[in-house]
Amino acid sequence: MIGRKRDHRAASEESLVPQVQTVRGPVDTAELGQVLMHEHVFVLTADVQQNYPEEWGSEDERVADAVRKLTELAATGVRTIVDPTVVGLGRYIPRIQRIAEQVDLNIVVATGCYTYQDAPFFFHHRGPALDAAFGAEVPDPMVDMFVRDVTEGIAGTGVKAAFLKCAIDRPGLTRGVERVMRAVAKAHGRTGVPITVHTHPRSHTGRLVQEVLGQEGVDPGRVVLGHSGDTTDADHLCELADAGFLLGMDRFGINLATTFEARADTVVEMCRRGYAGSMVLSQDASCYIDWVDPGVMALLPQWRYTHIHEEVLPYLRKHGVTEEQIETMLVTNPRRYFE
């Protein structure tokens, strides 16, 4: 065991309040302010980008563009973004450090692994894959890698991950998805940092998360079920909230298979039912994502960092969501998640 539960606070013994690690160092949870709980700075397919760099273009220009977009976001009153970019999404912390130095915003970064199917090939012949060859259980190296990112920092940058990320999508609990989810749970057990799971709520994958993380002894109150806002099924969302999970209503602006109103009305309905204490808000936006053709990005004008403050919050207020409920979703729930 490298660390005890919640050992991530040990570095800040002088502080009496809990702290969260950010790119620029530890921040008191009381100072996080309004938090968007799922925003990326960049989502990149690293080896494609390295070999076909034309679309990415100039590193300096991309950094300047990110600084401009995040500065606009900070002007809305948001103080913190939580960025779940991990292996599989092109995490590269030195670039994020360059940006964080120039923006008045806390950026919280993650460790973990993003896949809907198999674990990355790197892991195929390591850890549990070798159980049969060795005739004994081989510990998963993923767990130590995640723990090290939390306790020592990421790749020599000194930046520590403050939460864990894994994914489950339409294919369900594949062998690779389950392996990563259990590794994330074990790293959580050793570090105490919370978890965000990318889910596919229309396939009710939250129930599979509940089953696996439950077996691993994870408290659902430390887990965001990301992309919960992709469904309008309030009964299903209430079931997951009643189980203790935080629901990520976190894709505002991605209105391809749904509409602005469908997403917003679901939050209104959940607030009406008394579930403001179980929701967090975000947009899953980024300064640049290489998964999407730039022409298609033009079809998603609301998919930007300031959409929530410019359009979603006014709509929620107009439909009966109170300032107190908005504060709960943007400030209180994120703070509690990190404590």
Applying CB under 5 A, which residues contact Zn ion?
284
Q: How far apart are CA 215 and CA 208, in angstroms?
A: 11
Q: Which of 296, 288, 281 is nearest to 68 (CA)?
A: 288
Q: Which is nearer to Zn ion, 22 or 282 (CB)?
A: 282
In angstroms, what is the minimal distance from the CB of 274 to Zn ion? 28
The closest residue (CB) to Zn ion is 284
Sort 104 into a burial class: Cβ within 10 Å, 0-12 / 13-18 / 19+.
exposed
Q: Which is nearer to Zn ion, 12 or 258 (CB)?
A: 258
Contacts (Cβ under 8 Å, ≥6 apart) of 13? none
Q: Which is nearer to Zn ion, 89 or 271 (CB)?
A: 89
In angstroms, what is the minimal distance from the CB of 199 to Zn ion? 11
Q: Which is nearer to Zn ion, 230 or 284 (CB)?
A: 284
3 state SS of 280 = strand
DSSP bridge pairs for 163: 110
Report CA 294 to chain centroid distance, whole Å. Answer: 24
In angstroms, what is the minimal distance from the CB of 129 to Zn ion? 27
In angstroms, what is the minimal distance from the CB of 84 to Zn ion? 6
In angstroms, what is the minimal distance from the CB of 10 to Zn ion? 30
In angstroms, what is the minimal distance from the CB of 38 to Zn ion? 6
Contacts (Cβ under 8 Å, ≥6 apart) of 107? 22, 23, 24, 41, 80, 81, 83, 96, 99, 100
Q: Which is nearer to Zn ion, 190 or 252 (CB)?
A: 252
DSSP string, 46-74: HHHHHH-TTTT--HHHHHHHHHHHHHHHH
Q: Which is nearer to Zn ion, 2 or 289 (CB)?
A: 289
Residue length, the chain? 339
